[in-house]
């Protein structure tokens, strides 16, 4: 036990830079999701290393992680290429997302505390405000946080881990479409919160399923245009 009277949280933990590979990973993921690196593009290690001011090694490790998570394709002895999502893959990903999110909604409904529900409602309110203000970026971010919060309330770390990755990839494909939907989305969120507050597992599952299925519908509608 510390004998000093310092409050526990006051020590800023003197933030260490942390492993370089992780920061490279974050940077590359940001570049990919923002379309700065386009699908199919050839990623040259030395190039990225020079651009980021680090050695090739951390870049390599970051690329490998991105590979296992499906963001880049690592062709042996040839290099890394930004993954090109096919329509089929996007569809399969949406199927899985629906599954995971629906289960999360069910679990959240099973044991949601009033504090959690309050947090959801707050996020929802902010989201609606962002939509009204036409602040699309904020709305998208709040949407992500809303779903993440439900995951948190579900209390299943493994599920959250998988859903986090799937969601992020879905959002990558879905970004161009996201600007259409927006208002309707938050209405559905409201209904979902109500179901969770009522501890109605079946209704929560069904609402979340419909909600994510609407995403799929929007995606396909977009594809055709």
Residues found near DNA in the complex (CB under 7 A): 3, 16, 19-21, 43-47, 54-58, 60, 74, 76-80
| Cβ density class 65-79: b for 16+ within 10 Å, e for less | bbbeeebbebeeeee
Based on CB atoms, which residue is closest to a second copy, 10 or 158?
158
Q: Pick what 156 binds: a second copy, DNA, none; C-beta below 5 to 8 Å, kind-dependent.
A: a second copy
Residue 206 binds to a second copy (criterion: CB under 8 A): no
Nearest distance in Å: CB 68, a second copy: 5
Q: Which of 135, 131, 109, 136 is nearest to 120 (CA)?
A: 109
Q: Which of 114, 110, 131, 88 is nearest to 205 (CA)?
A: 110
Tally Cβ neighbours within 10 Å of residue 107.
Answer: 21
Residue 77 corresponds to which tokens in the numbers above?
């002895």
User: In angstroms, rounded to a whole number, what is the distance separating the alpha carbons of residues 113 and 98?
Assistant: 24
Tell whether residue 20 is a contact of a second copy (CB under 8 A): no
Q: Is position 194 an interface residue for a second copy (rule: CB under 8 A)?
A: no
Q: Which run of H or of E encompasses 217?
A: helix 201-224
Q: Pick from 28, 93, 153, 207: which binds a second copy (CB under 8 A)?
A: 93
Binding residues vs a second copy (CB under 8 A): 18-19, 21, 60-61, 64-65, 68-70, 76, 89, 92-93, 95-96, 99-100, 103, 156-159, 161-162, 166
């Amino acid at each position: 036990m510390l004998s000093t009277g310092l409050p526990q949280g006051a020590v800023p933990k003197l933030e260490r830079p942390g492993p370089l590979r992780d920061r490279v990973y974050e940077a590359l993921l940001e570049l990919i999701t923002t379309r700065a690196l386009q699908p199919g593009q050839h990623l040259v290690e030395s190039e990225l290393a020079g651009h980021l001011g680090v050695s090739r090694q951390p870049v390599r490790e970051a690329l490998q992680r991105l590979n296992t998570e499906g963001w880049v394709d690592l062709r042996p002895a040839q290099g890394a290429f930004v993954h090109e999502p096919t329509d089929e893959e996007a569809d399969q990903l949406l199927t899985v997302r629906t599954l995971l999110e629906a289960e999360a909604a069910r679990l959240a409904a099973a044991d949601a505390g009033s504090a959690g529900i309050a947090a959801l409602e707050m996020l929802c309110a902010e989201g609606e405000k962002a939509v009204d203000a036409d602040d699309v970026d904020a709305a998208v971010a709040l949407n992500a946080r809303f779903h993440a919060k439900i995951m948190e309330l579900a209390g299943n770390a493994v599920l959250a881990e998988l859903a986090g990755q799937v969601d992020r990839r879905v959002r990558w494909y879905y970004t161009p479409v996201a600007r259409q939907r927006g208002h309707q989305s938050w209405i559905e969120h409201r209904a979902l919160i109500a179901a969770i507050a009522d501890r109605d597992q079946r209704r929560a599952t069904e609402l979340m399923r419909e909600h994510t299925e609407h995403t799929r519908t929007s995606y396909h509608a977009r594809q055709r245009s």
